[in-house]
Every structure is written in structure tokens, then in C-alpha cells.
Amino acid sequence: MVGTGFVGSTFAFALLNQSVTEEIVLIDMNSKKAEGEAMDLNHAVPFASSPTKIWQGDYNDCRDANIVCITAGVSQSEEVTRLTVAEKNTKITTEIVECVMTSGFNGILLIASNPVDVMTYMSWKVSGLPKNKVLGSGTILDTARYVHLLGSYFEVDTKNIQGYILGEHGDSQFPVTSQLTIGGQNIKDLIQNNKKYNWSDIDEIAIQAQQAAYLISELKGPTYYGIGMSLMRLTRAIVKNENAILPISAYVNGEYGERDIYIGVPALVNRNGWQEIYELSLNEDEHRKFKTSADTLKETLAPLLKMLNQDEV
Ligand code: NAD
């Protein structure tokens, strides 16, 4: 795990709490922080269902790791514009990926640093790994926020809700309302048959999910529990070879009408990384939103790729 700030340390805690991995190595440019987190986390291990070895390490430890997760970087709240964050995090992330690859790493690269879709693309480019071995957390957290709000509204367990937020992990994300089902029943039928529910509430829920990070940031600062558990969920799908379909940042090559970007889509996740992308039948409005989201990512990506090429010259 590279980056032991709010996101990295919460992710580590989620992993040990649920005994997902045998070992966790913490790497941070602030080595004292990583060492302190490792000590603190180790004191939680006696209460876990099975032991996890945790220590502060360096990039050599990545050589035989199954997964390297990058959560290092600056966050939006520390920077004025999204582009400045993207530029700074591109430098940080690509330098880290180079160090990871120099170790001889040949596992799965999992990216959480923001803007996550763009950082995932950059990591793939710099790593030279096959695209299926590089994934980002994509819209897994946004989908969790959406499903949580829907669960409260319909008063059902979130496990009975099949719904997705797709696109950019950012402002242009959108819900695939046309395919949303609650307990196997399509949302359209549910609203038609029950006067308690209405479309404007469903639309409002998607807005609340999209705005959640801003509100949390206003209320308490950085967000980390949701993303910590999301990364744990993805790691479990990889480690346990689950073939789980999860909304991650995956490389599209014609799927949803887009090419050559990493973007939030449902994809099959197992020990080999992500495999096929599941193409939901989007309606016209959803297709338009997907395209807007893809265009936003391409716009952010273009100057960063130029910056990367200049650095290489
Ligand atoms: P943080 O500031 O608490 O932690 C960042 C850590 O990265 C620090 O410990 C810092 O020392 C380390 N770091 C910085 N540069 C480094 C480098 N070159 N090498 C090694 N370590 C380095 O930040 P945080 O709240 O943990 O957020 C981390 C990232 O996660 C941010 O980019 C944030 O936007 C992102 N995030 C993503 C999601 C998501 O859904 N994908 C959700 C929340 C936060």
C-alpha cells in the first residue's frame, strides 16, 4: 500500500478487520507516518478473526506482492483547481509506479488517488502492465453512496438493490436509472405500482450521492471510511478470485461507444485483475451522459499526457 494517509490507513484497517490478506506492507514518503500506522494497526490484529502481518516497508517489498494499491497524493481540498490536483498527482503517481515496477512487480495495480480515472490511465501507461492488471476504484464508492440512499428510501437491505453509478468519479458521473432494480423489480414498475415513491425523489437521491463528498468535506474534512471499505471489497474480489461484477475504472476499447480511457463501468474482477466489461443497455439520455463523462476525462487527460511525454524527452 503506497500512501498511508486517511485513505491508505483506513483501507489497511478494513483489510485486517476482515482478514482479507495475509500481509500488508505500508509505504509512504513520510516513513515515520507509515511506521506509526503499522504499529497502531498491529495492535488491532489480536482482535481480528485471523492474523495479518503488517509492517512499514519500501519499494523492494512490491517485488512479490499480489496487489499494489496507490492512495498517495494531494486531495482536492488542499488545491485550488482540479487541474492542479491532477498535475500534482500525475507526478506523484507516475513516480510511484516507476518505483513499483523497478522492484520487478508483476501483480495487480489498484489506484485510488484522484482524479482516479485519469490516475489509473497514467499508471497503466507508465507501468507497461497489461490493461487488465491495472484498475481504479472508479464509481464503486459513488455506487455505494447511491445504493445506501436508495436502501433508506425504499427501506430495504442494500444487498437487494442492483444499481450503478457510471462514468467519471467526479461531477459528470450519472446513475443508470433505466436498469435499476429493487428486489428484482424494475424501478419503473415499482413507482407505477406504489404511490409512496416518485421519480423526483429518485433523481434527488442520485444528486445527493454525487454531492456527498462535498458535503462530508464541509462537515468534517476528508472522506475515508467509504473508500477504505470500497478498496477492501475490490481487494477481496481479487484475492478470493470472486468473479465479482463491480463498478471500477476499467479501460474501454469500444464498450459504451468509447475508446482509450479508463472510466467507471461494471467489470468482472478476479485474481487476474478485471476481465470483461459488462455493457448495460443505456437509454438515450444515459448514453449522452456517458459520452459527456468520457469527454470530460479526455479533456483532463490530454494536457497530462503532454506533460508526461515532455518529462520523458
Ligand atoms: P492524505 O494527505 O491523508 O494522505 C496522502 C499520503 O500520501 C500522505 O501520507 C503522504 O505522505 C503520501 N504521499 C504523498 N506523496 C507521496 C509520494 N510521492 N510517495 C509516497 N507517499 C506519498 O490524503 P488522503 O485523504 O489519504 O487521500 C489520498 C488520495 O485519495 C487523494 O488523491 C484523494 O483525493 C483520494 N481519494 C480517492 C477517493 C476515491 O473514491 N477514489 C476517495 C477519497 C479520497
Q: Which pLDDT belongs to residue 310?
A: 77
Q: 157: which 3 cell numbers?
A: 437491505
Q: Is 118 in the pocket of ligand 1 (CB under 6 A)?
A: no
Residues 239 and 272 sit within 8 Å (Cβ to Cβ) = no
Cα dihedral value 229, 231, 235, 238, nearest 10: 120
Report residue 270's pLDDT band, with 50, 70 and 90 as the boundaries: very high
Q: Which pLDDT belongs to residue 309?
A: 82
Pairing of strands 185-186, 181-182: antiparallel
Report residue 79's pLDDT band, with 50, 70 and 90 as the boundaries: low
Same fold? 6-136, 140-303: no
171, pLDDT greater than 70: yes
279, pLDDT greater than 70: yes
Domain 140-303 CATH (choose: 2.40.10.10, 3.90.1200.10, 3.40.50.720, 3.90.110.10)? 3.90.110.10
Q: Is 90 in the pocket of ligand 1 (CB under 6 A)?
A: no
**Class in CATH terms, 6-136:** alpha beta
Mean model confidence pLDDT for the chain:
96
Cα 227 to averaged position of ligand 1 atoms, centre (Å): 12
Q: Please write the tens of the pLDDT for every residue from 174-224.
A: 999 999 999 999 999 999 999 999 999 999 999 999 999 999 999 999 999
Q: Which pLDDT belongs to residue 78?
A: 61
Our mutation pick for probing the ligand 1 site, out of 71, 95, 119, 215, counting the most ligand atoms within 8 A of Cβ, is 71
